Structure 1
Amino acid sequence: MSDILLNPIVNKPFTQTTVKLQNIILPNLDICTTEELFLRLNTKSVLNYEYSHIELKNSGVISFDTYFNAFSVQKWLDYTRVKNIGLNLTLQGKFKISLFNIDYAAQVKKLVNQKVINSHELADRNVFNNIDINLYKGLLYVEIEALANNCIFQNGYFYANTIQTQSLDQKIAIVICTYKREYYINKNIELIDNYLFKQSNIGNKFEIFIIDNGRTLKNIYGSQIHVIHNKNAGGSGGYTRGMLEVLDRKSDFSHIILMDDDVVIAPEVFERIYNFQNVAIDANFCVGGSMLRLDNQYMQHENGAIWDQEVVRIKPDLDLMSINNVLFNEIEEYINYSGWWLFCFPTKLIDNSKLPYPFFIKMDDMEFPRRLNHKIITLNGVCVWHEALEKKYSAMMNYYLKKNELILNVIATDNFSKLDAIKYFVKFSMREAFCYKYKSANVVFQAVTDFLKGPEYLKTLDPEEKNLEIRSMGEKAVKNHQLPFIYGKYQESLSETENTFYRWFRLITLNGHLLPSIFFYKNNKLTQQTYKIISMQNYRPINVFRSKTALYYNLHNAEGFAVDFSREEFFKIAIKIIFLSIQIFFKFSQIKRKYRDTLPELTNRNFWESYLEINKYSS
């Protein structure tokens, strides 16, 4: 039975009741089958995917010291009202059930409690009560050993008897911005419907707002699902449209979760976010989701990040099958933004004058959380699987990255100077020119040129038309490029090195653009230096030096494009660099002031409703 308590600060009632904190979940054919992310089995335990349970013989063991199923003691202690926890398990048979603690420092397991349970039928059994988590750091996890044959484990959960801080009537709005990615949208909606909405105790706590920038989604129905056709104003416009929809029903929703359209997610993640926010000690906490790779599902791309004139990924490239890495992931570091592949924030932090900036794509998920300026928490098991970013090469991205990075720096970084801006764009455009990517260098010039047009240009441009214009610029990766791919040549470029003398020789000759033709490799055998084959993501000027032609290749999707050495194109770019540098030098102070002065105007509802032409695109 619930007890009604009084919050002494605001003199409002809180309810003390039993609150589920975290489910113990199993691998799933629809989501992820990397078992070591969920559990560890010995040879007498078998995971039955068809029935979603584990079958154990005598001495069969399941250990849940894993990314998804260990319990993050320190963060629940620090950021919620949880002080004591319990454990329920659904099982059949005779088991020895042990609760272990493993902390950051010792990294050795310590027994917290142990019981023998004999369940004659498959049923939910209470195993532990009132475990005082103040005594522990790091992770708590369950280990189950069968003491007889024909035992079954199905699922379980950690719970607490504590105070709920969130109104039971309020929901979480899940906002997904999409552009012609029906496969991912349909898959995730099916997962959410099957594994979340159909749960009687939690399913009605969510609604989904799908902002369809491509205006192509069909046949998605449900009382908790809203498909909204929107002008293609990029991710910024899509997520903002979703926020506007939620603001129209602000009293219904305590939090908003922003989620990418090209991810795979375990619906348990939404329940964990809801449970965490339900007992949080501060109603302003944000929760950031880690990004795991979709191709190697155990690899973490980042667990939050820092923007400090450049991106610093936190906990990058961790193998989360390792318990040591799961522990390391628990150690809290400073972060000031979290990617919008999964980001949860309280609805009360926004209103009609606190909306995202119109970046179209890129940097919006950095600028907005920084402006919210509230604590971002990450939790093991709160994540999405996302396509590896290196698979997504596009010269168009250089335009949005470079323009928006300049804008973000001038509106958010006090000490970002005109010389910083010049060095920033010169370094990147010269690197592209050194690498014979002359079209890409011109994309950067267009980005800087549009940045110098100031915020008035942002207010008046048509984002769809501008995007089509940018897409027509730059090198385009294709499947059937004109040069043969030879893996040995590709590997050579990755391992290529140089000594100091060679490096200075390259730089003095502007990476060969001042060298006479006699010094370039001759076109003879395919397997020799006829042309270079270079990673599209990890390219360096040394890779093309003294070669007349290069093939940039993406090994992940077998696409590439060829480029040719051109003195004429290089020196055209050099002249543009000088010209644009002079413009930045004389215009920068005024432009910086304009961007800062117009920030309130470009982040309010009146601007966005006009920019998105909401009346025209409303469904």
Structure 2
Amino acid sequence: MSTVLTELPGATWRTVARVVLPADTDADALPLYVDYDHAVAAPASTETEAPTTGGTGQSAGAPAQFVSVPQESHAEDIRGRRGLVVRAGARASFATYFNAFPASYWRRWTSASAVRLRVLLEAEGTVTVYRSNARGLRQRVTSRAVAGGRPLELELSLASFGDGGWYWFDVSAGGQDTTLLEAEWQVTEPAGTRPRHDSPATLSIAVTTYNRPDFCLALLRSLAEAPDVREVLDEVLIMDQGDQLVQDQPGFAEVAEALGEQLRIVRQGNLGGSGGFARGMRETLRAGRSDYVLLLDDDIIVETEGILRALQFAASCRRPTIVGGHMFDMFDRSVLHSFGERVDLYRFFWGALPGLVERHDLGGRNLRATPWMHKRADVDYNGWWMCLIPVEVLREVGLSLPVFIKWDDAEYGLRAAEAGFPTVSLPGAAVWHVSWIDKDDSTDWQAYFHERNRIVAALLHSPYEHGGRIFRESVFTDVKHLISMQYSTEALRLMALEDVLAGPEHLLRTLPTRTAEVRALRKEFPDAKTSTDVDAFPAARRRKPPKKGKEPQSPNKFTLLPWAASVVARQLATAPAPEALQRPEGRLAAMDSTWWRLAHYDSAVVSTADGTAAAWYKRDPKRFRELLTKSAAAHRQLWQRWDELSKAYREQLPHFTSVEAWDTIFDASTISVERPGVRASVPAQQGGTTSPAGGGPRAVAGEGR
């Protein structure tokens, strides 16, 4: 089939993605919207490890290899959200994350067979259309001279995008400047098919926040100032679980008045991300108006056009589909955290899909120079920093797992897939999120949730006997923390194992209280007691220099077992040097405090991952022995009872993710429900009644309909 089609007879085209420019004309974010660089062929890089033939050239099956040749960019040429000046003799490409059309995703998941590009220029110019294949090879489709003020419309086939590929276009100016006034991508339903929704789809937005009122207010303001989003928005639900309230922020009243009845604040006790998002799901079902609920983190900047794209895509999918957005780094605006996530079922651990590059900088290597971004990434789940869920999925598979934080989003994606509902991470829908590269929440109070929730999710979904490799990794991680003198972390991991062994009933019972208990337990250990004062600890003095002047290196797979045996034996049998308990033997930066280095110290001052504080780790053979013994016993039980526990958790899953079970928690934790932008709103009373999912609005004080 030809790429360029004649106009489809009787087609009604619907805009699903508009070409946009950054709202704040941020030069750091500009490469995500418009590309002034050129992509040229280059030798194979280690990033994609493409094979070559005979040492020169690429093999037929190898990914394309390109590099970006930087050109001067012009943020000052932006004209609002949709306009861009293209200077005389220059070219601007929209082969970018936010403005290229992800054709393979529409080909795979929707009924669309073609896409129409519509471009309007102010003065004469040239529009050149390109496409790519799954290997990232660029192919010119057509080039058209465009008269000013007359829109160019091109119908383009989606037939050949089975495995990957994008469409994009460039605008070139001739002897005088031209301006892109607007451009958009449109699709149509094939003859004989009908959309999944009888009327235009709408959504509710659910935001969970805890003591980030400034971020949350900025997010609300961006939604209030997006009229196109407001047209499809039923309401924004803010689940405020902290004591620094968004309602108390300067400027909140103006934003609340602008949103009016579209804003509702739910104040409840701190039930974590899972409790906040489950409440958003529940309230959306209760209201009975929206087709989707969009989950958003509070500490984000959202590209509002991406909300519309996610909604249009979801409404076009052949079956109910979870549609997620990608995450960029808020403090490094062109850096993409991950292009697609999966759960490795053998390890039972999350991570990027094979072949993708984490923390990829699109400012340094644009879309045309990034071949792996052209193959469609089929994911297992999408993070709940931005995730659109159909209400049909909520009714079928239930609400979030009641786990406070960690693994709630990954488990939900696996659960939905088992029920026949896929997840798609849609290019062009994204947020900028506060980065976690300077955090290590696997060693602080969140270590409890990392361990417990990963094992619970494996009990629910692992297809492997004894969960595959998760048992071995759990044992190794315990030893790693112990030889690193991270006794508080190990104590929390043991608490997690004990809760798993207690059975699924503990999830609902402990949800409102376990976080406080975890924090309290951790405070009992010296490695959890930090100070921001750089002189709070004695100066470090090392008793013995490193062997041969070299710092310890990580053992390899051949030396790991004998190395571990000798280290554990030393930890058990040898008391720490008395002087090491009076003065640390070393001071280590967080990035240097690896387990194979800490294992050689009797004490050390270690910086926290964010660099704001430090703690004094001290070796304690008695505590080491006690925790190691408990770990062995707990893991022995987990191994012996795996099948029994897996059956129990799977049988109870429909109960502890049900609306009725969650309502019991919400009724006990609700502080108020109100519409602050509506005059004479009334705070909700504590508690309330329950109603079945999808059963229509529930009459609660402050929820007048």
TM-score clears 0.5: yes
CA contact (8 A) 1:326 1:380 kept: no
- Which residue pairs with 2:352 in the alignment? 313
- Which residue pairs with 2:602 in the alignment? 548
Q: Give the whole-Å Cα distance in 1 for the aligned partners of 2:22 and 2:131.
A: 23
- Which residue pairs with 2:219 in the alignment? 188
Relative to the length of structure 2, the TM-score reads 0.75
* 1:480 maps onto 2:533 in alignment: yes
TM-fit CA distance, 1:106: 6.1
Alignment of 1:446-485 (within 5 A): 446-461=495-510, 463-474=511-522, 475=528, 478-480=531-533, 482-483=536-537
**Which digits, 9 at most, give the CA deviation of each residue in 1:479-511, with x for residues without a partner?**
33535999xx9xx99994557669834532328
- The one of 160, 171, 175 equivalent to 2:202 is 171
Residue type matched to 2:264 in 1? H
The DSSP-based 3-state class of the residue aligned with 2:124 is: strand
- The one of 439, 445, 450 equivalent to 1:396 is 445
- Which residue pairs with 1:139 in the alignment? 166
Count how many residue pairs are aligned between Structure 1 and Structure 2: 585
Unpaired stretches in structure 1, ≥5 consecutive residues: 1-14, 120-124
TM-fit CA distance, 1:27: 2.7
Bigger shift: residues 495-504 or 260-269: 495-504
Q: Give the whole-Å Cα distance in 2 for the aligned partners of 1:581 and 1:502.
A: 21
**Which digits, 9 at most, give the CA deviation of each residue in 1:122-160, with x for residues without a partner?**
xxx421232334356612111111113343334421223
Relative to the length of structure 1, the TM-score reads 0.85
TM-fit CA distance, 1:233: 1.5
TM-fit CA distance, 1:610: 0.8
CA contact (8 A) 2:575 2:621 kept: no
- The one of 423, 432, 452 equivalent to 1:376 is 423
The DSSP-based 3-state class of the residue aligned with 2:292 is: strand
TM-fit CA distance, 1:615: 8.1
- The one of 31, 35, 60 equivalent to 1:36 is 31
CA contact (8 A) 2:501 2:645 kept: yes
- Which residue pairs with 1:217 in the alignment? 246
TM-fit CA distance, 1:245: 0.9
Call closer, same or farther: CA 1:166–1:453 in 2, change over 3 Å: same
CA contact (8 A) 2:136 2:165 kept: no
CA contact (8 A) 1:44 1:57 kept: no
Alignment of 1:54-203 (within 5 A): 54-105=84-135, 107-119=137-149, 125-134=150-159, 138-162=165-189, 164-194=195-225, 196=226, 198-199=227-228, 203=231
Alignment of 1:208-287 (within 5 A): 208-214=236-242, 216-218=245-247, 219=252, 221=256, 222=259, 223-250=261-288, 252-280=289-317, 282-287=318-323
- Which residue pairs with 1:122 in the alignment? none
Residue type matched to 2:185 in 1? F
Q: Give the whole-Å Cα distance in 2 for the aligned partners of 1:608 and 1:45.
A: 51
**Which digits, 9 at most, give the CA deviation of each residue in 1:517-575, with x for residues without a partner?**
79x8997xx9xx94041436x75322113323233334644333231222222122222
* 1:304 maps onto 2:353 in alignment: no
- Which residue pairs with 2:703 in the alignment? none
Call closer, same or farther: CA 1:604–1:333 in 2, change over 3 Å: same
Q: Which has the higher strand share?
A: 1
CA contact (8 A) 1:306 1:336 kept: yes
TM-fit CA distance, 1:403: 1.0
CA contact (8 A) 2:573 2:621 kept: no
TM-fit CA distance, 1:31: 7.1
CA contact (8 A) 2:18 2:99 kept: yes
CA contact (8 A) 1:93 1:151 kept: yes
The DSSP-based 3-state class of the residue aligned with 2:319 is: coil
CA contact (8 A) 1:44 1:61 kept: no
The DSSP-based 3-state class of the residue aligned with 1:82 is: coil
Call closer, same or farther: CA 1:267–1:436 in 2, change over 3 Å: same
- Which residue pairs with 1:349 in the alignment? 393
CA contact (8 A) 1:46 1:56 kept: no
Q: Give the whole-Å Cα distance in 2 for the aligned partners of 1:498 and 1:417.
A: 27
**Which digits, 9 at most, give the CA deviation of each residue in 1:87-119, with x for residues without a partner?**
333542221121122323362341423223234
CA contact (8 A) 1:97 1:115 kept: yes
Q: Give the whole-Å Cα distance in 2 for the aligned partners of 1:141 and 1:495.
A: 51
Residue type matched to 1:174 in 2? I
Percent same amino acid among aligned pairs? 18
CA contact (8 A) 1:534 1:543 kept: no
Q: Give the whole-Å Cα distance in 2 for the aligned partners of 1:151 and 1:83.
A: 32
The DSSP-based 3-state class of the residue aligned with 1:59 is: coil
* 1:504 maps onto 2:566 in alignment: no
Cα RMSD (Å) of the superposition?
Answer: 3.4
Bigger shift: residues 561-570 or 162-171: 162-171
Residue type matched to 1:406 in 2? I
Call closer, same or farther: CA 1:133–1:502 in 2, change over 3 Å: closer
CA contact (8 A) 2:325 2:425 kept: yes
- The one of 410, 413, 418 equivalent to 1:366 is 410
* 1:47 maps onto 2:89 in alignment: no
TM-fit CA distance, 1:45: 6.6
Q: Give the whole-Å Cα distance in 2 for the aligned partners of 1:363 and 1:493.
A: 39
Q: Give the whole-Å Cα distance in 1 for the aligned partners of 2:23 and 2:454.
A: 39
TM-fit CA distance, 1:320: 3.0
Q: Give the whole-Å Cα distance in 2 for the aligned partners of 1:188 and 1:497.
A: 44
TM-fit CA distance, 1:325: 6.1
TM-fit CA distance, 1:431: 0.8
**Which digits, 9 at most, give the CA deviation of each residue in 1:206-244, with x for residues without a partner?**
532222222623145222222212232211111111111
- Which residue pairs with 2:42 in the alignment? none
CA contact (8 A) 2:121 2:146 kept: no
The DSSP-based 3-state class of the residue aligned with 1:351 is: helix
* 1:561 maps onto 2:605 in alignment: no
Q: Give the whole-Å Cα distance in 2 for the aligned partners of 1:134 and 1:264.
A: 35
Call closer, same or farther: CA 1:548–1:614 in 2, change over 3 Å: closer
CA contact (8 A) 1:436 1:564 kept: yes
- Which residue pairs with 2:15 in the alignment? 20
Residue type matched to 2:307 in 1? F
* 1:423 maps onto 2:448 in alignment: no
Q: Give the whole-Å Cα distance in 1 for the aligned partners of 2:550 and 2:304.
A: 42
The DSSP-based 3-state class of the residue aligned with 1:423 is: helix
Bigger shift: residues 152-161 or 43-52: 43-52
CA contact (8 A) 2:21 2:78 kept: no
CA contact (8 A) 1:418 1:584 kept: no
